Structure 1
Amino acid sequence: MTSQTTRLLFVRHGTATRMTEELRDPPLAPRGRDEAAETAAHLAALLAGRRPRLLASPLARTTETASIIGAALDLAPEPAPAFAEIPWTDGQPVVSRAADIKDWLGRGWGDMPAAQRAWAVGVVEAARGLSGLVVVVSHFVPINVLVGHARGSDRVLEFRPRPASVTIFTAGADGLAVESLGAEDESLFA
């Protein structure tokens, strides 16, 4: 990696507990903590001898995943609100959130509500504003936003990153490029 190349490692958070009306920001499930620990060990080996920045969406499942990764890398996670999950629509109840996201995943960005389109632009701008070696703990849709942008695609769904998977991008003068996609889980939002 040259000093002018930026390398972004986007980690999808581990499996979370079930979202409810009373708990709209769920923490990791025990399985999610195990997934995060496995990814942390992988990143510690991959990044041995290097000191990246560690950013995390401010939601509970991402901050918990980032804390586990941070412990392995001896880093304190920095909050990164731009990489939070796609915004809720006004008044959207939890019971319809998964169905709405599944519907959105079948669309192109041009067919999305204005607030979600603007959010996606913000995700790309935030990623393009990063430099150096950065690990970002984020969510399913923001990672898809970046993969689609790098591929020049308008589709909301580009792939189905499994929990705690790592998708790697490079950024330079030519823009954002996918170096490698994280492991997939085809059953997610199927």
Structure 2
Amino acid sequence: MQKLFLIRHGKPAAVWGEADEDPGLDDAGRVQAEAARDFLLSLPEDQRPLRVVSSPLRRCRETAAPTAEALGVTIEIDPGVGEIPTPKALTAEARPAWLREAFQGRWADIQGDLDYEDWRRRAAASLLPRGRTAVFSHYVAINAVMSLLAGDERVLVFRPDHASITILATDGGELVLVEAGREASTGVL
């Protein structure tokens, strides 16, 4: 099995519910992105990622950029590792309350336009062919993967800190947790 690195984006310049729906990183987030790069480059050469994949959102792309540049690769954009889709009828202002409610329950209980259990399975499945890859993603998407691997139906099972690196392993058919990344001392809630 090959290692895969699932990395939460660095600290954004704005949080969900604020005016900017696609914020980049703030100064702390840029430092966190460089620390993630430094960790990945410190690995033995035969374990370093060969590819860099990112959610389409700016905070993930900016977190991925130092790693991609250091490895000399182009960032591959994959919506499959993106943020949880918000129901179409929901306003940006209503998204924080919707997320807070989702965090309290199970994947099957999330109200919206799609089957969120299926979204969770697809997020995890998108990682299967990605051995030796650094994947830059989001809090909820990482929880989708972690809850599936743990066999836990709750939405919130893990509180990945900004730029937290969770190490998984894959053989293309199975995904295994090797080591959970650093958890935040404060939650998204």
* TM-score between the two structures when normalised by the length of structure 2: 0.88
Q: Which residue of 1 aligns with 2:120?
A: 120
Q: Which residue of 2 aligns with 1:17?
A: 13
Relative to total residues, which structure has the larger helix share, 1 or 2? 1
CA RMSD of aligned residues (A): 2.0
**1:134-183 C-alpha deviation (Å, 9 max, x unpaired):** 11000011111111111111111111000001001112487322111110
Aligned positions of 1:72-91 closer than 5 A: 72-91=70-89
Distance 1:37 1:153, change over 3 A: same
Moved over 4 A (4+): 19-22
Q: Which consecutive residues of structure 1, in runs of 5 or more, have no partner in the other structure? A: none
**1:94-125 C-alpha deviation (Å, 9 max, x unpaired):** 22222221211111112123513332222122
Q: Which consecutive residues of structure 2, in runs of 5 or more, have no partner in the other structure? A: none
Q: Which residue of 2 aligns with 1:66?
A: 64
SS in structure 1 of the partner of residue 145 of structure 2 = helix
Q: Report sequence identity in percent.
A: 30
Distance 1:88 1:51, change over 3 A: closer
Aligned positions of 1:99-118 closer than 5 A: 99-113=97-111, 115=114, 116-118=116-118
Q: Which residue of 2 aligns with 1:8?
A: 4
Distance 1:51 1:177, change over 3 A: closer
* TM-score between the two structures when normalised by the length of structure 1: 0.88
Aligned positions of 1:33-182 closer than 5 A: 33-49=30-46, 50-113=48-111, 115=114, 116-128=116-128, 130-172=129-171, 175-182=174-181
